[in-house]
Amino acid sequence: MMQLDSSTLAIIKKACKGKKHVKLTIGYILNDEITVRVFDENSETQNENYIYEIASITKTFTATLLSKFIYENKMSLDDSILKYFGGLDDDKYYPTLKRLATHTAGYSTALPFTRREYLSTPLKGFPPMPDVEKVKTVLRYNPRQDKDYPWKYANFGFMLIGHAVGVISGKGYWNAMDDFLSGDLGLMNTYTGTEPNKNIHGFNMKNRDCGNIKYNKSPTIISGEGDISSDAKDLLQYAKINMYEEKPYISLCHEKHADASSLFATVLCNMTGVKGIDMGLGWMLNKGNNRIIWHSGDSDSFSSYLAIDKDKKVASVVLSNYRMDAIKIGMSVLEAL
């Protein structure tokens, strides 16, 4: 087993300090072997299997299901989202799936919620998930032009993609994604939503138990941007599927589909220490080396990070039940590998 270097251990120790209930899981692939290690507030602890809310890493799964349907000629990146929603104005422009999947559709980071909805939300930091009618209203009142907008990270785009793949599957997003995770990808500890007897609880910075987000899986509820739960072993198995492109549709997600140069992207890169990013479908690609793909995720009480170096055949994953800088930890592990 590879020994984590002193600088990585120092980052881990600092990240865990003061977090009384932290379970920080770090995993990696080296020489095709999966290793998982768990840290608490004081040191490395017994390696138990914890299932976490992985937040926005969900977007890579949504994009992968999209790519499968494109491979099967059921969808196209050039499809307008109009195709998947009834009751919208046919004579108006609505963004393509490609622009939604690359954050170049021009939507605000706050959509589909208003500032008032965010401020009135208790504890978990997210208003109730929108239904189809609310989303159609948002689309009508936020018209876009037929162009590539400067890159701006937007959950709303992946909600729209989630709805679209649900329509094409004939099952709705929730059932389609669960079937895809277990059936196509073979990930047995990965599923949409949260399960009370499986998910580890999240905590805030005051060490208060925040539990887990409770999802309404009604067919009318829109999701696809941050609703999946998983563990380190499953995510590293998923990393292997991507690393070796084990499915014929995987490579489409890894191609550069958009340039993420914008003020928003610059701010993100400065915050995370990333030198620059391009956009695959869902995945972030390191600018200058698109063979390194990654995504992170954050909610009020969870942080996550998954990165893959396709050339060197290594990967790292970080899962925490507190909010912390998972990117910094994961990048340090990947560089050591």
Encode pLDDT of 260-299 as tens digits.
887 777 877 777 777 889 999 999 999 988 999 999 999 8
Least Cα distance to 81 among 180, 22, 162, 185 occurs for 162
| Overall average pLDDT of the 48-63 stretch | 97
Cβ pair 56, 109 in contact under 8 A? no
Strand partners, 307: 294, 316
Q: Compare 210 and 117 and report the one with higher pLDDT.
A: 210
HEC states along the chain?
Answer: CCCCCHHHHHHHHHHHCCCCCCCEEEEEEECCEEEEEEECCCCEECCCCCEEECHHHHHHHHHHHHHHHHHCCCCCCCCEHHHHCCCCCCCCCCCEHHHHHCCCCCCCCCCCCCHHHHHCCCCCCCCCCCEHHHHHHHHHHCCCCCCCCCCCCCHHHHHHHHHHHHHHHCCCHHHHHHHHHHHHCCCCCCEECCCCCCECCEECCCCCEEECCCCCCCCCECCCCCCEEECHHHHHHHHHHHHCCCCCCHHHHHCCCEECCCHHHHHHHHHHCCCCEEECCCCEEECCEEEEEEEEEECCCCEEEEEEECCCCEEEEEEECCCCCHHHHHHHHHHHC
- Domain ranges (residues) in the chain: 6-336
> Per the structure block, which two tokens stand in for 32?
């095709």
Cβ pair 247, 237 in contact under 8 A? no
pLDDT of 303 above 50: yes
Separation CA 199–CA 120 (nearest Å): 26
Q: What are phi and psi of 131, to 5 degrees?
A: -100, 175
| Overall average pLDDT of the 204-223 stretch | 94
pLDDT of 158: 97
Cβ pair 190, 228 in contact under 8 A? yes
pLDDT of 118 above 80: no
| pTM reported for the whole predicted model | 0.95
Q: What are phi and psi of 150, to 5 degrees?
A: -55, 145
* Lowest-pLDDT choice from 59-63, 64-68, 85-89, 232-236: 85-89
Ramachandran bin of 149, using left for φ above 0, alpha for ψ from -120 to 50, beta for the remaining angles: beta
CATH class of 6-336: alpha beta
| Overall average pLDDT of the 95-105 stretch | 98
Encode pLDDT of 222-267 as tens digits.
999 999 999 999 999 999 999 999 999 999 999 999 988 877 778 7
The band of 123, judged by pLDDT with boundaries at 50, 70 and 90, is: very low
Average predicted confidence (pLDDT) for the chain: 93
pLDDT of 120: 64
